[in-house]
């Protein structure tokens, strides 16, 4: 891959840029638009948002006014838990396009499996929700569909009823939180993993193992974490409020991690986990 706009091919042939800009906790204002424009100028081509972030309108405006054709920018949003179910999901997607003032999305995800409670209930609700995403995909208003925070035991019942398999699973994935079972399941079923919180919300910046590797390669600790994701075949979305850090996070192709370094990072004890267990979150 020559740059961060280079893509991983999804099951349907659509390519998702290997590194994207995350917008969680970024206010829906002029500063958001400036930051997205700066990221696009650096070379970012994937912008990730969600209904719950409250900034879909600003992301849409930034995409429309960035100076590049719409088809050059890969836009992701996510369906919130309260909008699950077939009819609710269909209405929610209409709201996304209306807020963003876009004619289509590149990727739409079910944000959480919402698995706390009676198994048959959440499985049935997720199945109905997934039917809505399948219909939206077949209507051509979204180029790819997927899920977020689904572990293997959430994916199995969904796949059993699906006519189109999820193309993406966005997971918390970083050194110190490998999630090997979920990631391996996705690889076996041709579901592209996209890492959220690949830097563990800054918790890995001073980790001694990563600091040592960064010094050896002459790069930042953030670059080590993102390179680790790429070498595992995972795309990633990363948030930074600093233009300088965004530029560093985009510079991932002048070095690579050795097999020994990858194993050291893979074998780190649990570090930087958000605490957001998909089976126990209550929102």
Tell me the DSSP string of 207-250. Answer: -HHHHHHHHHHTS-HHHHHHHHHHHTT-EEEE--S-HHHHHHHH
Asked if residue 208 belongs to a domain, the reply is yes
**Per-residue model confidence (pLDDT) at position 1:** 77
Judge contact between 238 and 21, C-beta under 8 A. Answer: yes
Tell me the catalytic residues: 53
Asked if residue 276 belongs to a domain, the reply is no
Looking at the DSSP assignment, which residues form a beta bridge with residue 169? Answer: 147, 193
Asked if residue 101 belongs to a domain, the reply is yes
User: What is the mean predicted confidence (pLDDT) over 131-135?
Assistant: 98
Domain that includes residue 58, residue range = 14-266
Asked if residue 131 belongs to a domain, the reply is yes
How many domains, in total, are found in the chain? Answer: 1
pLDDT exceeding 70 applies to what percent of the chain? 100
In this prediction, residue 176 has a pLDDT band, given cuts at 50, 70 and 90, of very high
Asked if residue 281 belongs to a domain, the reply is no
Q: From 84, 33, 93, 85, select the one nearest 62 (Cα to Cα).
A: 33
Asked if residue 275 belongs to a domain, the reply is no
| Phi, psi (rounded to 5 degrees) for 120 | -65, -30
Up-side HSE of residue 214: CA atoms within 13 Å toward CB? 18
Encoded tokens for 218: 């002459």
pTM: 0.97
User: Would you say residue 166 has pLDDT above 90?
Assistant: yes
Asked if residue 25 belongs to a domain, the reply is yes
Cα–Cα distance measured from residue 256 to residue 250, given in angstroms and rounded to the nearest whole number: 14
41-78 residue pLDDT tens: 999 999 999 999 999 999 999 999 999 999 999 999 99
Q: How would you classify the pairing of strands 7-9 and 145-148?
A: unpaired
In this prediction, residue 283 has a pLDDT band, given cuts at 50, 70 and 90, of confident
Residue 59, phi-psi category: left (phi > 0), alpha (psi -120 to 50), beta (remainder): alpha
Asked if residue 34 belongs to a domain, the reply is yes
CATH, residue 43 = 3.20.20.100
């Amino acid at each position: 891959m020559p740059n961060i706009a280079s893509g991983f091919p999804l099951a349907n042939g659509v390519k998702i840029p290997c590194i994207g800009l995350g917008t969680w906790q970024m206010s829906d204002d002029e500063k958001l638009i400036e930051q997205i424009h700066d990221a696009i100028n650096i070379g970012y081509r994937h912008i990730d948002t969600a209904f719950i972030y409250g900034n879909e309108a600003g992301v849409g405006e930034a995409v429309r006014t960035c100076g590049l054709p719409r088809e050059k920018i890969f836009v992701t949003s996510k369906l919130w838990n309260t909008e699950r179910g077939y009819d609710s999901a269909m209405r929610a997607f209409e709201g996304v396009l209306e807020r963003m003032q876009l004619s289509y999305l590149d990727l739409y995800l079910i944000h959480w499996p919402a698995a706390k409670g009676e198994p048959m209930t959440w499985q049935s609700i997720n199945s109905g929700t997934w039917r809505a995403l399948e219909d939206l995909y077949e209507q051509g208003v979204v180029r790819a569909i997927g899920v977020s925070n689904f572990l293997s035991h959430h994916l199995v019942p969904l796949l059993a009823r699906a006519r189109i398999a999820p193309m993406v699973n966005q997971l918390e994935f970083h050194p110190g939180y490998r999630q090997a079972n979920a990631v391996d399941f996705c690889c076996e079923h041709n579901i592209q993993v996209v890492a959220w919180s690949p830097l563990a919300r800054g918790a890995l910046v001073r980790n001694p193992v990563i600091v040592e590797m960064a010094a050896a390669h002459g790069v930042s600790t953030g670059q080590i974490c993102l390179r680790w994701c790429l070498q595992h075949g995972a795309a990633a979305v990363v948030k930074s409020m600093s233009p300088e850090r965004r530029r560093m996070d985009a510079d991932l192709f002048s070095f690579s991690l050795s097999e020994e370094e990858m194993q050291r990072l893979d074998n780190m004890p649990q570090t930087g986990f958000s605490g957001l267990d998909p089976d126990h979150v209550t929102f």
